[in-house]
Structure formats: structure tokens, C-alpha cells
Amino acid sequence: MPQAQGTEARARADHALAKAAAGGTADAGGRLRPGLGVWLRDLILSLAISAFIIVFIYQPVKVEGTSMMPGLLDQERLFINKFEYHFEPIHRGDVIVFHYPLNPAKSYIKRVIALPGDDLEIKDGQVYVNEKALAEPYVPARFRDERTYPNTILPPNEYFVMGDHRLISSDSRDFGPVNRSLIYGKASFVYWPTDDMGAVR
């Protein structure tokens, strides 16, 4: 009987050593504790998932400038969703990020005001889409201007974008509609500073 007990103990010890060799260490009771290999594997997996999310779904960006005040402030950090527009259409009112048409190396963030096929006109600062005045609660009265834009029917795949701070925004009134191929994300969530954290509206 003592010999049988000793054989069983040796078997447990050998089993624990085998587990330890596979990436963990064993305590005195033969229980497996995670080793360097396990932690390294988890770290690599976490980094791979993070990279996938950043490359294909969400990307952090920094707001530079004040053309989207008061909704977005200079130097705020936010996430843009690069995945949504592969399956969902762009909607009027969306805040989008796109390559600047006159210099694609730069990125701009603006609000979609009119869609392909829309009849657009701006009279003394009031936007008309399909001959109806566009309600724009995101533009405070103190940020409105009196600029005019001639009546235009947007071509296919072209989007008219404007900043919410109309007095200082350089937008489609200056550089024209933005082609769909230049749009690469929808502004989704402000994460910094924490006092401003929340969904982009």
C-alpha cells in the first residue's frame, strides 16, 4: 500500500511538471499557475484584437480647430466608426471625417447637410434642401452667418458638408461637395476630456 501511494504521488508530480512545461508553473499541491507563456499569449491576443478594432472598426482622432463648435471643441479626442458606412448609408445630419478634397493628406470633420440628388440652396445663411428650410438646432444663433450658395442639385456620390460654427467654417461652400470615396468614418464618441465624454450628435 505505501508503494502504491508513492507511485500515485509521483504520477501527480509528473503531471504537474508536464503542465508547467506547457506554459505554467505548479504549486506544492500540483495546481497550475499561469506562467510567462500564458501571459505573453494573452498580451499578444489583446494587442491583435485592439489593432483589428482600430484598423477596421474604430479609430481615435483629435479635433483640430473650432469649426464644429459647440458640439465638438478644439483638441477633443473622439472615436470614429470606420465600419458603419460599409453597411449603412450616410444620413443627413451625420458628423463625418473625410479626406480634404483639395489636399487628401489632410482630414476634415464636418456635418452632412445634403445628400446625392438633393436640391440645395442657401439664402442669407438659411439652408434649403429640396425647397424646404432645414431645421438646424446644432447651430446656435450666435454662430450663424448670412452667406449664400446658389441653387445646386448634388451629383451622384457627392455630399454637401458644413461646419456647425458657420461664421468660421471652411466647408462645401468653399471647396464644393465631398465625393463618397473621400469619406472614411462617422464621428461616434468623445472620450477625452472626460468632462465632455459622450456620443457625438
50/95 same-domain check: no
**pLDDT-based confidence at residue 20 (cuts at 50, 70, 90):** very low
Predicted confidence at residue 38, as pLDDT, reads: 79
Average pLDDT over residues 107-112: 98
Mean pLDDT of the chain: 85
What's the CA gap between 92 and 148, in Å, rounded?
A: 20
| Amino acid, single-letter form, for residue 4 | A
If you average pLDDT over residues 29-46, what whole number do you get?
69
State whether 124 and 181 are in the same domain. Answer: yes
Nearest Cα to Cα of residue 125 among 85, 165, 175: 165
Residues 92 and 40 in one domain: no
Residues 105 and 30 in one domain: no
Query: In this structure, are residues 199 and 189 in contact, taking their beta carbons and an 8 Å threshold?
Result: yes
Cell triple for residue 184? 472614411
**pLDDT tens, position by position, 165-195:** 999 999 999 999 999 999 999 999 999 999 9
Higher pLDDT, 128 or 201: 128
Partnered with residue 152 across adjacent β-strands are 120
Query: How many angstroms separate the CA atoms of 85 and 93, rounded?
Result: 14
For the cut 60, the answer to whether the pLDDT of residue 54 exceeds it is no
For residues 153 and 172, the answer to whether their CB atoms sit within 8 Å is no
Give the residue-averaged pLDDT of 68-92: 95
When pLDDT is cut at 50, 70 and 90, the band that residue 29 belongs to is: low
Number of domains present in the structure of the chain: 2
Specify whether 93 is located in the same domain as 117. Answer: yes
Residue type, 110: K
DSSP 72: S
- Domain of 165 in residue numbering reads as 57-199
Q: What is the pTM of this model?
A: 0.74
Query: Which residues have a catalytic role annotated?
Result: 67, 110
SS3 content of the chain, % helix, strand, coil (to 5): 30, 30, 40
The CATH number of residue 141's host domain is 2.10.109.10
Contacts of 149 by beta carbon, 8 Å cutoff, 6+ apart: 120, 121, 122, 173
